[in-house]
Structure 1
Amino acid sequence: MIPEKLLLKLAQRHADGSMRDLKTTKGLMDFSSNDYLGFSKKIKPQEIHPSQGATGSRLLTGQTEACQLLEQKIAKFHNVESALIFNSGYDANLGLISSVARRGDLILFDEYIHASIRDAIKLSDAKSLKFRHNDLGHLAILLDKFSKEESQEVYVITESVFSMDGDMPNLMELVKLVEVKSNVHLILDEAHALGTIGNHGEGLAQSLELEDKIFARIVTFGKALGSHGAAVLGDFDLNQFLVNFARSFIYTTALPPHALQCISSGYDLLQQEQKTVQELQELVQKFNRFVIQSGLKLRFRESVTPIQTCIIPENVKVKKAALQLQELGYDIRPILSPTVPAGEERLRICLHSFNTAEDCEKMLAQLALIVKNL
């Protein structure tokens, strides 16, 4: 039996309605997954490999010509010197941040940053401070106050599309703020922007032609690209540093050949199906109009991305709303505290290129009735 103090933590989760469990759903309309472009059902590996496993880490037997070529392809698409593939976005953030931020350095991070980045910060030897969400004024104060030592490197970390609110920073102004000082470096997690932002789904930095102003970008392939894995984008020296010092890269078995093929296929689709990206972006605009028409505007956070958020405070109430929507055929999941702060519990609604405007309008009409009766 597990220790009593662990059982008490489980009991507390039961008591406050925040207990997590694993469940599957079948036959429901997808308003929950990160498969924004539906690529998970379209990607098709082109070759059959004799080995289904990578057989070792990249520094041992896991390095292949296919992996090298794929990294070159990714780098070319993202207009950057190099790309280094990691097994997941979590691994990429862990490896990048824990290795580049050294003792004596400083990390300034958006308070809504992803859990993987928070864990990476804990693993680094650097000091860290958070700035208020998307508040560049607050960040400027922290930079002015704490980044005066020339021997100190400062890493500012944010996301291009935040996973729980679907909002974006003012990246143009953020870059202007950061580039004034030579010892300040910007790290941008583009996990939810790849495939959703820009004319070709290239992400926020490239859509604004700012890619050469950013120290490192993280792109992940398990969302809009419909496969698995991630890559850190940066210059050649950063690539070499990570190969030598990023522990989540060095000490793990490489992705298998079929996973690399799926990533490559996802990038091919992204270049071939520009119309799919545009259809998704148009659907987001229609959805925002439907939110206003349904009378739910005050419940929804403002977002021009596929991630839409309906605030329903209290774990019990938001779980009830999600269950009622699922019973009506919509796969929509609740986000509970402590994943989000208490009082910020919400339905996280993800839009996809394969959702129709009619589906969205009907779902919101049902949601309006549910919220009214909670």
Structure 2
Amino acid sequence: MTLDFLQEKLQDRIEKGNIRTLGGKAGLVDFVSNDYLGLSQNQELAKRIRERMDSEGAVPNGGTGSRLLSGNHRFYGAAEQYLQEVFRAESVLIFNSGYAANQALVSAVAEKGDTILYDQLSHVCLKEGAWLSRAETVSFLHNDLNDLEAKIKRAKGRVFVLTETVFSMDGDMAPLADLVEVCEQSNAYLIVDEAHSTGVMGPGGAGYMIQKNLHDRIFGRVYTFGKGMGVHGACVAGSKILTDYLINFGRPFIYTTSLPPHSVLAIEESFRYLSEHLVLQDELEAKINLFRSRWEKSLSHTAIQPVMIGSNKKAREVSMSLQEAGLDVRPILSPTVQRGTERLRISLHVHNTDAEIIRLTDLLSELV
């Protein structure tokens, strides 16, 4: 058996300077993770999760099977009921990850003869969900309502529109109020991924759509817990009909071993903790404002701050210089982003000190 066909593609990546490898230096200042509120390393939260686990007695170490078989342990019901209140939804269904939730939702609801229109900068899990459906899939220009409206007019069957609240590579936000209006006027079904706004925005960390009172006008909402909430998993929030449908037709839900009890308990405890410590959202906002005040080229008002470089080689070089200075800043290279838009992706957190942010912006001024 020859593996030349694999090696050839890897070699092509090496020659283009965009080969992906695992690694990373220990002891660097975190400007790369999605742990915006520092909850993944919050020891008070960790203690609460341990105490809750101890209070529950003997529980399985693993999920043991699909939720349709042996994996629907009692902790799911309590967590989903609590999340219904957090997200002000008729029903909530927990998934193993945001990737799985988006892929399941999009691939299941659209059928042959329908049309899926997705923002061209949507995360790949939304795009893959569209590609896995039998619907026609078409991208629309990023945050461009005119282009979206034109494509809705040409669409066939039921129309599903996919977008994100905060875009993961650019840190900008979708014009959600206007998107809701467009979808309502055209009877399109709007699906919104709140991956990077969960926890950091909204009452109790419930995200941007609830903050702006748009949640009841959205067909399907996806919330991810492995970023701002510092734990793991995700959920789809919407109508009871929608979650019942996903239980029956969402393949990444049906054919996946469930999360273990510890993970499900951690989701609930993380939201309970944040509801008592919403000052963390204000602290993060202060860090964002500090960065923006010192980096005049800032393109974002969120914790995701892209610094545009324009080539893989230069992005790698600047990233390495920052890492050598003790700051963990990673490059985002093509083909992950479009060629010519290679960048540094800086994530800001409550655990970044003001001095660390000032040092970062000073070094960026020297290197970029």
Which residue in the other structure is 1:370 paired with? 367
- Counterpart residue identity of residue 73, structure 2: T
Structure 1 spans left out of the alignment, 5+ residues: none
How many angstroms does 1:144 deviate by? 2.0
How many angstroms does 1:180 deviate by? 1.2
Given that 1:199 and 1:277 are in contact with CA atoms closer than 8 Å, whether structure 2 keeps it comes out as no
What is the Cα-based RMSD across aligned positions, in Å?
Answer: 1.2
Which residue in the other structure is 1:75 paired with? 84
SS in 2 for 1:305: coil
How many angstroms does 1:145 deviate by? 2.5
Which residue in the other structure is 2:142 paired with? 133
Which residue in the other structure is 1:98 paired with? 107
Does 201-210 or 249-258 show the bigger shift? 201-210
- Counterpart residue identity of residue 318, structure 1: A
- Counterpart residue identity of residue 337, structure 2: V
How many angstroms does 1:356 deviate by? 2.2
Describe how 1:102-181 pairs up with structure 2 within 5 A: 102-146=111-155, 152-181=157-186
SS in 1 for 2:222: strand
Describe how 1:176-325 pairs up with structure 2 within 5 A: 176-182=181-187, 184-292=188-296, 297=297, 300=298, 302-325=299-322
For 1:130 and 1:181, locate their aligned partners in 2 and report how far apart those are by CA, in whole Å: 17
| Superposed CA offset, 1:53-81 (max 9, x none) | 11111001111221011011111101011
Which residue in the other structure is 1:32 paired with? 32
Tell me the number of residue pairs that the alignment of Structure 1 and Structure 2 aligns: 359
Given that 2:59 and 2:261 are in contact with CA atoms closer than 8 Å, whether structure 1 keeps it comes out as no
Structure 2 spans left out of the alignment, 5+ residues: none
Give the TM-score normalised by structure 2. Answer: 0.95
How many angstroms does 1:165 deviate by? 0.2
- Counterpart residue identity of residue 67, structure 1: Y
For 2:201 and 2:269, locate their aligned partners in 1 and report how far apart those are by CA, in whole Å: 19
Give the TM-score normalised by structure 1. Answer: 0.94
Which of 344, 351, 360 is 1:354 aligned to?
351
How many angstroms does 1:2 deviate by? 4.9
For 1:181 and 1:13, locate their aligned partners in 2 and report how far apart those are by CA, in whole Å: 43
| Superposed CA offset, 1:82-120 (max 9, x none) | 110111111111111111011111000000010111111
SS in 2 for 1:83: strand
- Counterpart residue identity of residue 351, structure 1: L
How many angstroms does 1:199 deviate by? 4.9
- Counterpart residue identity of residue 116, structure 2: I
For 1:365 and 1:2, locate their aligned partners in 2 and report how far apart those are by CA, in whole Å: 50
For 2:212 and 2:178, locate their aligned partners in 1 and report how far apart those are by CA, in whole Å: 11
Given that 1:200 and 1:277 are in contact with CA atoms closer than 8 Å, whether structure 2 keeps it comes out as no
How many angstroms does 1:137 deviate by? 1.1
Given that 2:66 and 2:258 are in contact with CA atoms closer than 8 Å, whether structure 1 keeps it comes out as yes
Given that 1:318 and 1:346 are in contact with CA atoms closer than 8 Å, whether structure 2 keeps it comes out as yes
